[in-house]
Structure 1
Amino acid sequence: MTLPLKVLSLVAGLSLAFNSSATPVHSVEGNRYAIDQSKLLELSAEIKTELENNIKNIRKPGERAVALHQLMFGPDGWQIRYDFDANLSAQQAWQLRRGNCLSLALLYVASARYVGLKAQFQRVQTPAQWEQRSDYYLVPGHVNVAVSTHRQRIYIEFLGTFYDFEVDPSQGRRISDKQAFADYYNNIAMALMDQKKWPQARSTMQTAIELEPDSDMYWSNLGVLEKFSGNSQAAEKAYRTALKINKRNYSALTNLYVLLSEQQRKQEAKEISNKVQKYSRKNPFRLAKLAGKALVNEQYDVALSSIKKAIKLRPEHAEFHYLQARIYYRSGAATQGFDALQRAAKLAEGQDKQRYEQKVAALAPSF
């Protein structure tokens, strides 16, 4: 018997593609960047006292695991909340009452072990969720926690509010503390890269690689870091190292293709172009970009085909429907364009929603 617990969601490792980066890191006073790995699972005396008073004396391990979950996230407990950008240690997550999925896992594992539970980190396979930033794409990863007792295995899940799909928490791959720590340093390095703090980012990324040298994801991310910092030679070496470890790392392959193309190494780029194009077809933002280019060139059939594929992958993304509306209008299909514009207005938020609704109101009398 297993007892999956649905809680929150966030990022574990960040797999990056197309000249990628990551989100800024929240920091604690006096600890602006990565902290020593020996402190990632450290708990204060205050936390330990609360665990002793509320959790430690519960006799049955399964009930103890559930009670810990309720203490962390329940309305009568610590009320820890999900924060996509918060790459924190266990202590910091408790102190700031927030964390991403890795931070939440660190806090749960540290607390669980203190109260006598056997808790381990898991990396969980999830469908690719491309997240667009200003000039790159980010593919979040995910971790959860498995608690083993003599009668059952309980999965502590931190997924639900960020993603729009379900996962089977039992399908996670157990990872060591060292591998979880490597994910933490990878996240911090990517955040530092986003802030253009190149020496700190490079040093932190090297720490992640030292902890898990056979991770193609980390090598690919190092390549992105080197490319952004202007070191193309080191970037190429990192991408190729990633591909030696895993020839199907399409993030590394795509970034290598971009690098070779920029350097006018046409023959080398051509040799991998088919694989890159196949991968790009799975990226809705890439498809939308192709649709936009086709629209500019008045290739309406190509534009519609591309944007429809993007919408199929990310139907909730309002900008895709707005682009579809523009394509329909330009091609003379005004009714379909108005329908697409209405969908965009319904899905949009903030200023985009107001802008789309104004367009709908202006066009409505014609339909």
Structure 2
Amino acid sequence: MGVRIVMLITLLLGLWGCSRHQALTNSESQLGAAALPINYALFQQQESIVESDTLFLLSEEHQQDFLADFNYRLSRGVRPHIALSEFLETRLDNFTFYGATYVADQAWSLNKGNCMSLAMLTTALAQLVDLEIDYREVNTLPVFEKNNNLLLSSTHVQTRVFEPSQEKNNHISYTRANVVVDYFPVNTNYAGKHVNSNQFIAMYYRNKAADALILDDINLAFSYTMQAYEHAPQDIEVLNLLAVLHRRQGDVKTAEDIYLFGLQVNPNSLSLLTNYIVLLEKNGRQSLANEYREKMLTLNDPNPYIWLEQAYRAEAAGEQSRAKILFDKTLELAPYVQPAYIGLYRIYLSQGRHLKAKKTLKQALEWSYEKEERQLYKFKLYNLNSESSQ
């Protein structure tokens, strides 16, 4: 599991892992200057929060271990960014890809962590030898976790480590070789948006806030969320968390104000819209909730997995018609996303529409290349054919 996003769904009554600074646009700066409504009286800020300047610190022993390996590889003619990557590869041989989020030194010592933890460790090593890095989100199949009436979905983040700049004829070469550090290479993944260093740090604090929320430690969750807000005040998922925390504390008015503030920042945020709709429905404002539901379907987010996630949520809420629309929208964008076919298959099967279910499975087979997957689809088709012949 990687970067967590807190989402509300109707059935659960509640709540969703990887450098350079990016200047805010004028409009963002003006919006950020507006006072975000936060009811501080509801929360007690915790003092035991890891400060951002310690996130990437490594112990002296770990520094020396890495530098010895890194310098040895350089002496053998390995380029610096490759040397760092090769060192991490040796670490990952025994690395447990556990879903928790750790700071860099913890990830090294424990030899485990999610994609955020790996990115934290990569950042620490790159800083130690002055290599430039950046981060980018990766669009993957959504991973869900349900805990303490919370539904959390995770996105994936990876790090790129760049070859040092070299001057050629008094000009810096802008063609930069780089290596991607990631432990989750899947053919259907594709790179999403770039993440600057402040946004990345905010992701760490968001994850820690979600962990605290699972434990129902509202004050700790709020403290982590405020740390994230300090680094990325325009981050939609940070605003999302703040709204959820206020709603958890019974302040529906401030929660709604925060959702509306977030929708000024990004009117097309599906996660924010989803949570706001739940708030409206829980407070009997179905007409306005329906307006926002219809608006969601008109959005043009090119990431098919965003729509797949929404389809899952609609299906979980028993909204089959809406789920079908969203599964279809997923496949319009990316016909290779096989879980969308299986979602449609489940819907058709529950409706007794066996011919449509069979057609959907055959379409899934056209996009399936894994032997076990193909066998599973064929088995389902066999069962459907057997039922039809009875």
State the AA in 2 paired with 1:102. M
Whole-angstrom CA distance in 2 between matches of 1:187 and 1:335? 38
Whole-angstrom CA distance in 2 between matches of 1:235 and 1:126? 29
Q: Name the residue aligned to 1:93.
A: 107
Q: Name the residue aligned to 2:79.
A: 63
State the AA in 2 paired with 1:155. N
Question: Residue 63 and residue 259 in structure 1: after superposition, are their counterparts in 2 closer, same or farther (change >3 A)?
Answer: same
Whole-angstrom CA distance in 2 between matches of 1:266 and 1:334? 32
Whole-angstrom CA distance in 2 between matches of 1:154 and 1:79? 25
Q: Name the residue aligned to 2:159.
A: 144
Whole-angstrom CA distance in 1 between matches of 2:133 and 2:294? 40
* Cα drift, residue 206 of structure 1: 1.0
Q: Deviations over 1:225-251 (max 9, x none)?
A: 333454323322321222222222232
* Cα drift, residue 42 of structure 1: 0.9
Map 1:125-140 onto structure 2 (within 5 A): 125-127=137-139, 129-134=141-146, 136=151, 138-140=153-155
* Cα drift, residue 305 of structure 1: 6.2
Q: Name the residue aligned to 1:102.
A: 116
- Name which of structure 1's ranges 283-292 and 91-100 shifts more when overlaid on structure 2: 283-292
1:284 aligns with 2:274: no
CA contact (8 A) 2:348 2:357 kept: no
Whole-angstrom CA distance in 1 between matches of 2:256 and 2:114? 31
Whole-angstrom CA distance in 2 between matches of 1:83 and 1:160? 8
Whole-angstrom CA distance in 1 between matches of 2:323 and 2:237? 32
Map 1:1-367 onto structure 2 (within 5 A): 11-12=2-3, 14-19=4-9, 21-22=15-16, 35-56=50-71, 58=74, 63-74=79-90, 77=91, 79=93, 81=95, 83=97, 85-114=99-128, 116-122=129-135, 124-127=136-139, 129-134=141-146, 136=151, 138-151=153-166, 153-159=176-182, 161=184, 163-167=186-190, 173=194, 175-176=196-197, 178-266=198-286, 268-278=288-298, 283-287=307-311, 293=318, 312=335, 314-316=337-339, 320=343, 323-324=346-347, 326-327=349-350, 330-331=352-353, 333=355, 336=358, 347=373, 364=386
CA contact (8 A) 2:159 2:181 kept: yes
* Cα drift, residue 60 of structure 1: 9.0
Classify the secondary structure of the residue corresponding to 2:268.
coil
* Paired-residue identity, %: 18
Classify the secondary structure of the residue corresponding to 1:235.
helix
Classify the secondary structure of the residue corresponding to 1:255.
helix
Question: Residue 335 and residue 324 in structure 1: after superposition, are their counterparts in 2 closer, same or farther (change >3 A)?
Answer: closer
Question: Residue 346 and residue 55 in structure 1: after superposition, are their counterparts in 2 closer, same or farther (change >3 A)?
Answer: closer
Whole-angstrom CA distance in 2 between matches of 1:242 and 1:203? 19
* Cα drift, residue 202 of structure 1: 1.1
- Name which of structure 1's ranges 49-58 and 280-289 shifts more when overlaid on structure 2: 280-289
* Cα drift, residue 267 of structure 1: 5.1
* Cα drift, residue 92 of structure 1: 0.7
State the AA in 2 paired with 1:197. D
Q: TM-score, normalised by structure 1?
A: 0.71
* Cα drift, residue 323 of structure 1: 0.9
Whole-angstrom CA distance in 2 between matches of 1:236 and 1:158? 39
CA contact (8 A) 2:137 2:155 kept: no
Whole-angstrom CA distance in 2 between matches of 1:266 and 1:18? 16
State the AA in 2 paired with 1:73. E
Whole-angstrom CA distance in 1 between matches of 2:356 and 2:264? 50
Whole-angstrom CA distance in 2 between matches of 1:96 and 1:313? 37
Q: Name the residue aligned to 1:3.
A: none
* Cα drift, residue 216 of structure 1: 2.4
CA contact (8 A) 1:145 1:157 kept: yes
Whole-angstrom CA distance in 2 between matches of 1:21 and 1:335? 32
Question: Residue 257 and residue 291 in structure 1: after superposition, are their counterparts in 2 closer, same or farther (change >3 A)?
Answer: closer
RMSD: 4.2
Whole-angstrom CA distance in 2 between matches of 1:321 and 1:247? 29
Question: Residue 119 and residue 61 in structure 1: after superposition, are their counterparts in 2 closer, same or farther (change >3 A)?
Answer: farther
Question: Residue 358 and residue 211 in structure 1: after superposition, are their counterparts in 2 closer, same or farther (change >3 A)?
Answer: closer
Q: Name the residue aligned to 2:33.
A: none
* Cα drift, residue 133 of structure 1: 3.8
* Cα drift, residue 205 of structure 1: 0.7
CA contact (8 A) 2:101 2:208 kept: yes
CA contact (8 A) 2:358 2:381 kept: no
Question: Residue 250 and residue 11 in structure 1: after superposition, are their counterparts in 2 closer, same or farther (change >3 A)?
Answer: same
Unaligned residue ranges in structure 2 (runs of 5+): 18-47, 167-174
